Amino acid sequence: MMLEHILVLSAYLFSIGIYGLITSQNMVRALMCLELILNAVNINFVTFSDFFDSRQLKGNIFSIFVIAIAAAEVAIGSAIVSSIYRTRKSTRINQSTLLNK
């Protein structure tokens, strides 16, 4: 595949993630859009690592670290969302008033 095609795919995923993150009212959807953004960044890391320097795997290794951080973010984020749902019975962002007590 050509470099431009992969970069367009990555930009498309990043744009969908940003749009979803800005417009979503559900916390779970916002976390999923954040994962889309991180996956778009990972695609860029792997693509540029393969395109510019295929002998050294710096982009691939950095991508693995980003995946590990994303996995931790999903675990912590889903725990927070489930805790908020248990107390508030809603996962809508605009209805969350945890700091107003």
Q: Is residue 82 part of a domain?
A: yes
* CATH number (domain holding residue 43): 1.10.287.3510
Q: What is the dihedral of CA 63, 64, 65, 71, to 10 degrees?
A: 110
Q: Is residue 88 part of a domain?
A: yes
Say if CB 31 and CB 78 are below 8 A apart: yes
pLDDT tens by residue, 56-79: 888 888 889 988 998 998 899 888
* pLDDT for the residue 76: 92
Say if CB 43 and CB 6 are below 8 A apart: yes
Q: What is the pLDDT along the chain (101 residues), one digit of tens a residue?
A: 688 999 999 999 999 999 999 998 888 888 899 999 999 999 998 888 888 887 888 888 888 998 899 899 889 988 888 888 888 777 777 666 655 65
Which residue range(s) make up the domain with 78?
1-92
